[in-house]
Amino acid sequence: MAASLLLLVLRYAIISYFIFALCAILQIDIWARLVWRHQRRLSLVPGPPLARWSRLWIAKALASGRSHEIWTEVNAKYGSVARIGPNHVITDDPEITRRVLAARSGYVRGPWFDSIRIDPHITNIVSERDAKKHSKIRAKLAPSFTGQSLITMEPIVDELLLGWLSSIRTNFTRPGSASCDIGKMTQFLTVDIITKICLGDELGCVKYNRDMHRLLETVETGNRVCQYFSVFLELNTLFFQLARIPSLRKVLFPKPCDSNGVGRLMGIVHEVVERRAEEGNKLNDVISSLLSRGLSKEQIDSELVIALVAGSDTTSTSVQSTLLAVITNPRVYNTLRAEVRGAVSRGEVSSPIQDCEAKQLVYLQACVLEGLRTFPPLSQLRERVVPRGGDVLGDYALPEGTFVGLNAWGVQLNKTVYGDDANAFRPERWLIEDTDKLHMMHQTHSLIFGHGATKCLGASMAMMEITKVIFERGKLLRNFDIAITNPHKPWSSQCYGIFFQKGFNVRLDAIEDTFPPAYESTNTTAY
């Protein structure tokens, strides 16, 4: 009874403290706006009227579930540099984006990145703001996700891909089978792939056909909340201070002893790291690689949790959006299907397809590039800070300390780069002979994965995985005919910095002469 009463009082205190903090933030917003109005020179940068006065405009955009569209609408209306907050601007200009992200630009990561710490006291490669510390972390992580490591990852992707196809065929292609939520199945696959690559065993989402430990559900819920911490920076400070109190830290942050969600994933990672350390790094997985490069067990815990959470969702979004674009465009669908089945009939591809083989299929590559371009998997602002002395971006002089947000969606819809039909999904734009135009498009397209010292380490792995899955979904084009169950509403997609799709239901008709090889999971352990 006493314990229950204490917990009730504690929760009431936290809620009261939270409400007080929000009220204080609103007061600070008004005060800060008055100061910035007189002392700073952002008044010349156009933008929505409310945005000049308060960060609530950004919060409202984030809460809408369509912030990616709002950022793009703002830049389309107000220009390539637009104001979205008292001290915030956003750009959709590829050249400005590249300059801001360049290794020696003077721009540094802003406090936005504090919102994506899994542990309040340990930074990771995504959240670390100090350039020198970030470079040291990156140097130790890079060999595990690039170069020779990609070769060892491909068989893992192949193995799980075959199991995924076998599961789909068994459950969704027999007479009377229900429609397949291909979006959910794709999420299960990408979670299993990244966990097996990093931990040595898959989580088991495909095998058990469920969201193991409610990981995906927890990530979605947590991401909705955390995006506000990237705007109201005082909340980060508040929670980091509260985390100094052990009893409050257990309530406010995920912990390895949790039975579900990110906390459970933390526990799994911690258990595997401890086991690998005792075994002497004998296995060929990412954890063993990182231990051999001198990362502490605590740092590995932090790095892998963020890699597992972020890597699975972004890849899943890219695969889903590309597939949707293909199967809702009959011309593209028929062209890609002909290329896929032609390559199979001529014996030009293995089963499953190898990355080197996939790169020879030009229309497949064009579809993947175009799918990523028209639906980048991230819309987070990823704000950088204008360096000392200020800078000129576009037509505007920005004072030092200004936060510059990056509009990833707007960059990929640039008509100067991609043409007047930049909003359209048209893979043929990548099949032209104009080498200068192609170079400009590829340079701009690469910004999807970042640029400079903060470019995504998993970019090559993601491209390999997306291409394989599209082909072998492309094995869905190789093994199945696909039709959307509800053409009027093919899915529900919400954006909270990253995307969460639901209800992407399709009907699958098996092509009987191209069965995939038999598959049995080698994972006998359900985490």
Residue from 388, 496, 395 nearest 89 by CA: 395
pLDDT tens-digit readout, 422-437: 999 999 999 999 999 9
Using CA atoms in the order 226, 229, 230, 234, what is the torsion angle rounded to 10 degrees?
A: -170
For the chain, the distance separating the N- and C-terminal CA atoms, rounded to the nearest angstrom, is 34
Encoding tokens for residue 425?
Answer: 């999904």
CA distance 322 to 129: 33
CB 256 within 8 A of CB 266: yes
- How far is Cα 278 from Cα 301, in angstroms, rounded to an integer? 16
Q: Output the pLDDT for position 276.
A: 83
Q: How far is CA 518 from the centre of its chain?
A: 32
pLDDT tens digits for range 266-310: 898 889 888 888 877 666 778 888 888 888 888 988 998 888 888
Q: In Å, how far are 6, 7, 241 from 1, measured between CA atoms?
A: 9, 10, 29
Give residues with Cβ within 8 angstroms of 404, minimum separation 6. Answer: 89, 90, 91, 100, 107, 383, 384, 385, 386, 393, 398
4 found inside a domain: no
Residue 358 lies in a domain: yes
Adjacent-strand bridge partners of 88: 85, 403
Residue 334: CA count within 13 A, CB half-sphere: 3
Distance of CA 448 to the CA centre of its chain: 10
Asked if 488 and 328 touch (Cβ cutoff 8 Å), the reply is no
Q: Which of 311, 313, 295 is nearest to 126 (CA)?
A: 311
370, two tokens: 């175009």
7 belongs to a structural domain = no
Residue 27 in any domain: the answer is: no
pLDDT confidence of residue 242: 86
Task: Check residue 154 and give its pLDDT.
Answer: 94
Residue 505 lies in a domain: yes
Is residue 6, in this structure, part of any structural domain at all? Answer: no
Decide if 318 is inside a domain.
yes
Low-confidence ranges of the chain (pLDDT < 50): 1-13, 15-16, 36, 38-39, 513-526
Looking at the DSSP assignment, which residues form a beta bridge with residue 495?
Answer: 66, 499
379 DSSP 8-state letter: -
Domain tally, the chain = 1
Structure tokens at 511: 């092509």
- Helix or strand or coil: residue 499? strand
What is each CA distance from 442 to 104, 300, 417, 430, in whole angstroms?
A: 22, 33, 10, 9
18 torsion bin: left (phi>0), alpha (psi -120 to 50), beta (else): alpha
**Residues, the chain:** 527
Separation CA 138–CA 147 (nearest Å): 14
Residues 170-204 have pLDDT tens digits of 888 777 777 899 999 999 999 999 999 998 899 99
Cβ neighbours of 11 (radius 10 Å): 11
Residue 319 CA, distance from chain mean position? 12
pTM: 0.88
**What SS3 state is found at 219?**
helix
Amino acid at 177: S
Distance of CA 222 to the CA centre of its chain: 14
- The residue type at 23: C
Helix, strand, or coil here: 518? coil
Token pair listed for 57: 């405009």
Residue 29 lies in a domain: no
Nearest CA to 501 among 305, 323, 304? 323
CATH (domain of 494): 1.10.630.10
Range of the domain at 319: 40-510
Q: What is the pLDDT of residue 25?
A: 59
